[in-house]
Structure 1
Amino acid sequence: MVVFALIFLMTGVLIGRLVYLMVFRSEYYVEQAKDLHERERDIKAARGQILDRNGVVLAANRTVCTISVIHSQVTDPETVIRVLAKELGMDEETVRKRVEKVSSIERVRTNVDKSVGDAIRAYGLAGVKVDEDYKRYYPYDTLASKVLGFTGGDNQGIIGLEVKYDDYLQGTNGKILTLTDARGVEIENAGESRLDPVDGNNLVISIDYNIQMYAEQVATKVMEQKQADHVSILIMNPQNGEIYAMANVPEFNLNEPFVLNYDAGTDMDAAKKQELLNQMWRNPCINDTYEPGSTFKIITASAALEQGVVTLNDNFFCPGYKIVEDRRIRCHKAGGHGAENFEQGLMNSCNPVFMELGMRLGADNFYHYFRQFGLLSKTNIDLPGEAATIMHSLDNIGQVELATMSFGQSFQITPVELATTVSSIINGGRRVTPHFGVKVQTPDGENVEILQYDQVDGIVSEETSKTMRTLLEKVVSEGSGKNAKIEGYAIGGKTATSQTLPRSAHKYISSFLGFAPAEEPTVLCLVIINDPQGVYYGGTIAAPVCKEVFENILPYLEIEKTESLAQ
C-alpha cells in the first residue's frame, strides 16, 4: 500500500506538471521550438537620402556586406579562418575566436566593401554567410557636416539632422527565415521564408548645395587669412525661416566622423579623444552662446521705437564715454562722436546713445521686450542641442547691467537666436521658426509630409519694422557698415565687435549681420569670426565677408538690384 501510494502521488505530480507545461506554458515552448528549428537573419533596409532644395543628394547609401559564420555548419574551420583573415585583413587569432564560438550565428565583420564580400562568397565556404547591408555615405565629405550629422554602425542617427529626422529616414528591416535540424544545421530543400525590407523615406532640406559650398569656401578663406579659431556663416530667408546655408569651419569628414580634423597627437586616452570629438562635432550656430555686441543694437533700437522713448530726430551727445554709477563705460570711438541724433547714433554704432536708450526703457521694459521678441525662449530649430539664452534675472539688472545690455554685452545668446530675432524685426513683425526640413518623400519622390513650423505675429509693428529697415540700410550705405555696400543693391546691416570672457585675455569676436533687399528682405547673412588676429573690428573684417557672399548669391537667387531706401 505504501509503494502504491508513492507511485500514485508521483504520477499525480507528473500529470500536474504536464498540464502546466502543455496548457499554461504552451506559447512559451512553441516559441522555444521555433528558435531551435528556425534561423533568422536580417535584411537591412536602405536609409532614406537627404536632398538639398534642388534635389542634390547630400547623404546617400553604399552597399556593404556583413560576414558571419554559423558554427554548426562549418566543415573546414581552418580554411574558413585562413580565408577570412586574408580577405578581411584581420589577424587569425581574432577570426579563430569568432569561428570557433558556439552560437547560432556569429558576426565576424560588418561594413565590408561589396567587392570583398563578393570575393568571400566566391570561395563557397560551408557555414560562412555573406549578407548585403548598407552604409551611410556622404558624397561631399565635409559639406555641412555639423548640420547633416552622421550615423553609427547600426545606421541610426547620432548627431544633426540624421538624428532629428531618424524616424523618417530609418526603414524597416526585412528577415530571412530558414529551417534547421536539432543540431542547428540548415535542412536542404526546406526552402526559406522572406520578409522584404521597407526602405526609409527621403528628407528634402532647405540647404542649397551651391550656397552652402560657397559659404564654407569664404569662411575657410577668412579663417586662414585672420588665423581665427573658427568662423560661422548663417544664411537664411527671414520671411519663412528656411536656412540656405550654415557653415561652421573647420568642418569634419562625415565619412570618417571619428577621426579628428587636426593633429592632436597620439598621447591621449579614450576619454580625452571622446571629449575632442564632441568639441569637433559641436555646431557653434546653435550649441554655443556668445555676447552679440553691437548687432544687438538692432533689438535695443526696435524696443525703444516700440515703446516710444525715442524718435529719429532725438539729439544726443557722445564725449567718448558715459558714467554709469561708479563705472566709466567707453564708446568704441575714444574721442567720441560729439553731437548726433538717433539715426546717426545707429549709423555710428555709438555706445553712449544706446546706453541712454536703455536708461529710458528701464529694466522692466527692457526685460519685457526680451520676452516679447522671443529672446528668453529657444528658437526650436530642427537640430538637437540648441542652447538657451544666458540672461540676468530681472531682480539683478541694475544701472550698469542695463547699460551694457543695451549694446549687447553682459548676456549671451546663440547666433541662430540673433538671426531669428532680427528676422522678425525686418520682416514686418513675424517671428519665424528657423529650420532645415522642408518635406518628406518616398524613395520614388512622392510627398509623404510637408513639414510645418510655427510663426508668431506682432513682435513689432509694421511701422517699426519699416523704420528699422530704412535705418539699417543707411548703416551700410553711409555708416559703419559701408564695407558691405554693393553697387546697385539696397543692403541693410549692422557691425559688431565684442570681447570674450575673461576680458583680460583680449580675445574678440567680429561679426556682421546683413540682409537684402532692404525694402523686402528675402535673404539674411550672419558672419561671425572668432578670435581673429590683427585687426578685429567687425566693420573692417566681417562686413567684407558678407559683401562677398551677397555679390555671389544675390544674382544666384535672382534678387534684382534696387535703389537705396534713402533715395
Structure 2
Amino acid sequence: MFLVCIIILVARLFLIQILERPYLYEKAISQWTRPEEKAVRGGIYSRNNFLLLDTTRKKVAYISPGWLNEDKKNILIKKGIIEEKDLKEPYIKITEASKIKTIEEFERVSPGILIYNEIERYGENALATHLVGLDGKSGIEKAYDKILGQSKKNEEIFFDGIGQPIKGTIKESNKTSWGVYLTIDENIQKKVEEILDKEVNKGAVVVLDAKTGEILAMASRPNFKQKFVENYLNDPDSPLLNRALMPYIPGSIFKLVVLSAALEENITDLDEVFDCPGYIKVGGNIFKCASYKNGGHGKITLKDALAHSCNVVFIELGLRLGKEKIVEYAKKFGLGEKVLEDIPEEKAGFIPDPKNLYYQDLGNISIGQGKIQITPIQAAKMMLTIVNEGREIKPHVVKKIINKDEQIIFDDSNVNYVGKRVISQETANKIKEALKAACLYGSAVKANLPDEKKSAGKTGTAELGDGTTHAWFVGYYPYDDPKYIVSIFLEKGGSGPSNAAPLFAKIIQEIKGLQNL
C-alpha cells in the first residue's frame, strides 16, 4: 500500500512539474500581465524592405509608489516628477523625456522604478507620410488596416501583487517582417522629398517606372509628421491633404488628349500647317495664345504647336473634333476615374458630360480649362500610356503583402497590369516626337538635361480666374529608352515652363545620380 502511495505521489509530481508546468506557468503569469498593453502592428515597407515608418523605441518610466521610501517620494514630488495624488496609484507611467532623464538617476537604487523602451510607431524621419497615412485612419494604414492590425503578439510587462513592475520580466516583441510592401524606392522618395522641401510650398510629385507602372515615389507638400498630427488639424494650408491624388484644372497638359483624338480620328497630322494670329474666337469668347503680344505664332506645324503649346491651334482642333470626341478620349485615358484601389482619399477628378457642354465651352476644354479637373497621378498614367505605345498600364503601389503568420498573401508579380489599347502605336509615336520637340526647343526646354540623353514632356499653366495659376509638367526620361515618368503639380505655383519644368530636371538629375544612368 505504501509503495502504491509513493507511485501515485511521484506520478502526481511528474504531472504537475513536467506535463502541466507550461499551462500552470502561463496561468500564474496571466495574473500579473498588464492586459491593456498594445499589440504590435504590421509594418509598411519600401520595395527594398526599408521601413517607411521610421519606427523607434521611446523610453518610458514606471514608478510604483508602494515600493518607494518617504525620502524618494519627497524628492520625486519636489522635482515635479510625480504629484501628491499619484501616491495612491499602484503605478504611474511617465513619458516626458526631461522627467525620464531625472528618473534614471534613481532607477538602479530603487526597486520602485523601472525604465522601459516602448514602441513608437512613427518617427520624425518617416517617409511618404501622405501615402502611408495614419494608423487606421488614412492612406495605406487605412486601406490595409485588417492586415496591419491583425497581430496578437503583445508586448508584456509583469507586475507583482501590489503593482510593482518586476525588473527582468519585460517581454519586448522582436522586429517582424510582416505587413505591406510598397513599390516605393526609398532612395528616390528621399530625393524627391528633399527637393520639394527646398522648392515647393504647395504641390505634389509622382514618379513612375515607365515600363511597369510601379509608383517609385509619391510626395505632397506641405508635409506633415504622423507623430505630431494634432498640430496640423487646423492648418489653413491643409498639410494632411495628399495633393498627388486630388483634382485640379490641368491647363495645357490636357492638350495631349486633344492631340491623341485628332491624330486617331485622322483629322490632322503633325506636318499640317496652321495659322496662329495670337487669338481665336469661339462663340462670344475670345481666347488668347501665349504668343498674343508678339502677334501670334504665324505659320506653325501641329508638331511645333504642341512644342510651343499654341492655344489657337488646339482650340481649332477641338472645334474640328467636337465635345463628344474630346470627352470620349479623355475617358479612354482614364480621366474622371480613380487610378489606384489602395488609397481611400483618392479623388476621381472630373470630366463633364458632353450634354452639359456648349459650343463656347469647346474653347476652354480644348486647352484644359473650364470644367475639367484631373489629378497628378492621372497625368502620370496618361503619359505612361503614351510611352508604352498607346497601351494602358495600370499604375500601382502595393508590391507584396505578408500576413502575421509570415505568409505571402499578395505578390504583384502574379498580376497583369497591362490593360486595353487606348490609342494606336502610330499615334503614340507621333505624340512622343512632339513631346521631345517641346523639351528641345519649345515650352519645356528647362526640363531637358544638358547631356546626350534627352527628355520629353508637356508643360501646363492653368488659369484659376483670380490672377493665379497652377503650374504643371508631365514627362519622361530618357527619350530613347524611357525609364522614369514624372508628374509635377504646383498649386498656385506660377508658370509650367518657368517653375514646373525645371523641377523635373532637378528630380531626374538626382535619380540619375542614384541609378548611374
In the superposition, the TM-score normalised over structure 1's length comes to 0.72
Q: Which structure 2 residues correspond to residues 333-344 of structure 1 after superposition, within 5 A?
A: 333-334=291-292, 335-344=295-304
Distance 1:342 1:124, change over 3 A: same
Distance 1:107 1:400, change over 3 A: farther
1:459 counterpart = 2:422? yes
Quick one: distance in 1 between partners of 2:280 and 2:315?
Answer: 8
Quick one: distance in 1 between partners of 2:305 and 2:157?
Answer: 76
Aligned to 2:454, the other structure's residue is in SS state: coil
Contact 1:172 1:198 in 2 (8 A): no
Quick one: distance in 1 between partners of 2:96 and 2:139?
Answer: 22
Q: Bigger shift: 249-258 or 405-414?
A: 249-258
1:373 counterpart = 2:333? yes
Distance 1:195 1:139, change over 3 A: closer
1:163 counterpart = 2:142? yes
| Cα-to-partner distance string for 1:121-165 (whole Å, 9 max, x where unaligned) | 656567x88776311143625x43323334xxxxx3443333333
Distance 1:417 1:92, change over 3 A: same
Distance 1:40 1:312, change over 3 A: same
Distance 1:350 1:370, change over 3 A: same
Aligned to 2:140, the other structure's residue is in SS state: helix
Counterpart of 1:332? 290
Counterpart of 2:219? 247
Q: Which structure 2 residues correspond to residues 523-542 of structure 1 after superposition, within 5 A?
A: 523-532=484-493, 536-542=494-500
Counterpart of 2:166? none
Aligned partner of 1:545 among 503, 508, 514: 503
Aligned partner of 2:118 among 119, 133, 155: 133
Q: CA deviation at 1:351?
A: 0.8
Letter of the aligned partner of 1:222 in structure 2?
E
Counterpart of 2:10? none
Contact 1:45 1:197 in 2 (8 A): no
- Aligned pairs, number: 478
Q: Which runs of 5+ in 1 are unaligned?
A: 1-33, 151-155, 187-191, 224-228, 261-273, 560-567
Counterpart of 1:148? 132
Q: CA deviation at 1:196?
A: 8.1
Contact 1:201 1:443 in 2 (8 A): yes
In the superposition, the TM-score normalised over structure 2's length comes to 0.79
Contact 2:63 2:92 in 1 (8 A): yes
Aligned to 2:348, the other structure's residue is in SS state: coil
Quick one: distance in 1 between partners of 2:82 and 2:53?
Answer: 33
Quick one: distance in 2 between partners of 1:185 and 1:198?
Answer: 32
Aligned to 1:276, the other structure's residue is in SS state: coil
1:385 counterpart = 2:345? yes
Counterpart of 2:393? 432
Counterpart of 1:563? none
Counterpart of 2:195? 218
Contact 1:358 1:402 in 2 (8 A): yes
Q: Which structure 2 residues correspond to residues 201-350 of structure 1 after superposition, within 5 A?
A: 201-223=178-200, 229-260=201-232, 274-276=233-235, 279-286=238-245, 288-334=246-292, 335-350=295-310
Contact 2:33 2:159 in 1 (8 A): no
Aligned to 2:231, the other structure's residue is in SS state: coil
| Cα-to-partner distance string for 1:198-243 (whole Å, 9 max, x where unaligned) | 95714432222332222233333333xxxxx424322211322212
1:362 counterpart = 2:322? yes
Contact 1:44 1:133 in 2 (8 A): no
Quick one: distance in 1 between partners of 2:74 and 2:239?
Answer: 40
Letter of the aligned partner of 1:140 in structure 2?
N
Aligned to 2:34, the other structure's residue is in SS state: strand
Q: CA deviation at 1:530?
A: 2.8
| Cα-to-partner distance string for 1:379-405 (whole Å, 9 max, x where unaligned) | 125333011213323221112222211
1:495 counterpart = 2:459? yes
CA RMSD of aligned residues (A): 3.9
Contact 1:111 1:133 in 2 (8 A): no
Q: Which runs of 5+ in 2 are unaligned?
A: 1-26, 164-168
Aligned to 2:239, the other structure's residue is in SS state: helix
Contact 2:252 2:367 in 1 (8 A): yes
Quick one: distance in 2 between partners of 1:292 and 1:554?
Answer: 28
Aligned to 1:544, the other structure's residue is in SS state: helix
Q: Bigger shift: 445-454 or 315-324?
A: 445-454
Distance 1:200 1:404, change over 3 A: same
